[in-house]
Amino acid sequence: MLDRITGMQVFARAATAGSLSAAARQVGLSPAMATKHVDALEERLGVRLFHRSTRKLTLTEAGQQYLEACSKLLPEFDEAEAMVASQRVQAMGLLRLNVPLSFGVRYIAPLLPGFSRRHPGVVVDLGLNDRVVDLMEEGWDLTLRVGTLKDSRLISRKLADAAMIVCAAPDYWARHGRPARWSDLSAHNCMSFSLSHISRPEEWRFGKAGEQRVPVKGNLRANNGDALVAAAIAGLGVLYEPEFIVADAVRRGELEALELDAASADLGGIHLLRSADRTPPAKVRVMTDFLVEAFKSPPPWAMG
């Protein structure tokens, strides 16, 4: 099926120039293809648009009416295309960014005033939740994920590493003792992040590949890291959480981190993902560059 807008463009230029050959040159088509576009228009409309002779085209009455309509519509199409195309070059429009709740509140929201001053034409729609969103189906331009990536349809940029930390309130350690080995955690009240594959409610994993596993139990699990941090500060139990969640509380002395006899499992890092569009809009490119710069080594939560 021939493109209707191209047909309108060929028709309008032919009407102005009085020649299909001239119209074909202006729109970059062969004369034969230009003729096919006008023929298709006439067939679809059910009327003749031109009186045709060997030397010149002249408009029929229906053709004159159609030219008036095309003269109004085609500039609007051109303007719409120019507006969309400009977003490839200029950072503008609505940018939908989805990030995990705790990370977004701590580390993304404070950055946005600086981004807006640098790119005032971009309106940021910040979504905060801890579930894994479908970037394309839900209409997000960018999403931030913590952990190992599995979706090969997306293009990713790594922002930072994400170390796991075992910690509890100093008062909890004083009452229950500080474990020296990862296996000792079985005797403690271990609070778990229910969405994690490393600190599961029934099992915590240690070692680079998570090969060392310790069965755990505890009387609190949650799908939000801040809720667990609040309970740990109050002395309820032990956490095994990403450094960016617990770093502030450790610095303040509200939580005390421990080093055990096995390295923490590799969480997989913090990644910014977008769809596999080879030429993303400028708004996506500038936000990606902005966040990569903001989290360059060492990240703001690094404890040293």
Over residues 100-108, the mean pLDDT reads 92
pLDDT tens for 231-262 read: 999 999 999 999 999 999 999 999 999 988 88
Is the domain of 101 the same as that of 220? no
Residues 117 and 233 in one domain: no
Residue 275 and residue 145 in one domain:
yes
Stretch 3-12: mean pLDDT, rounded? Answer: 84
Q: What is the pLDDT of residues 20-31, one digit of tens each?
A: 888 888 888 888
- Segment 273-301 mean pLDDT: 86
Instruction: Evaluate if residue 83 carries a pLDDT over 70.
Output: no
Higher pLDDT, 89 or 69: 69
Residue 75 has pLDDT above 80, yes or no: no
Domain limit, last residue, from 86, 115, 147: 86
CATH number, position 44: 1.10.10.10
Amino acid (1-letter code) at residue 250: V
Residues 232 and 246 in one domain: yes
What is the structure's pLDDT at 1? 52
On whether residue 147 sits in a domain, the answer given is yes
Total of domains in the chain:
3
- Is residue 304 a part of any domain in this protein? no
- For residues 189 and 272, membership in a common domain is answered with no
**What CATH code is carried by the domain that includes residue 283?**
3.40.190.10
84-98, 138-152, 181-195: the lowest-pLDDT one: 84-98
Asked if residue 233 and residue 97 are part of one domain, the reply reads no
Model confidence over 209-237: pLDDT tens digits?
778 899 999 999 998 899 999 999 999 99
Higher pLDDT, residue 85 or 129? 129
pLDDT of residue 286: 93
Least confident of 14-18, 63-67, 200-204, 289-293: 14-18
Q: Is residue 56 part of a domain?
A: yes
Query: What DSSP letter does each residue of the chain carry, written as one string?
Result: ---HHHHHHHHHHHHHHT-HHHHHHHHT--HHHHHHHHHHHHHHHTS--EEE-SS-EEE-HHHHHHHHHHHHHHHHHHHHHHHHHHTTTS--EEEEEEE-HHHIIIIIGGGHHHHHHH-TTEEEEEEE-SS---TTTTT-SEEEEES----TTEEEEEEE---EEEEE-HHHHHHH---SSGGGGGGSBB-EETT-SSB-SSEEEESTTS-EEEE-B-S-EES-HHHHHHHHHTT--BEEEEHHHHHHHHHTTSSEEE--SSPBP----EEEEEE--SS--HHHHHHHHHHHHHTPSSPTT---
pLDDT digits (tens, 9 = 90+) for 166-176: 999 999 999 99
Q: Which domain range does residue 203 map to?
A: 164-258
| Predicted pLDDT of residue 88 | 58
Instruction: Let me know whether 147 and 276 are in one domain.
Output: yes
Residue 135: pLDDT band by 50, 70, 90 thresholds?
confident
Q: Are residues 33 and 65 in the same domain?
A: yes
Q: Which of 25, 57, 86 is the last residue of a domain?
A: 86
Last residue in a domain, options 86, 118, 137? 86
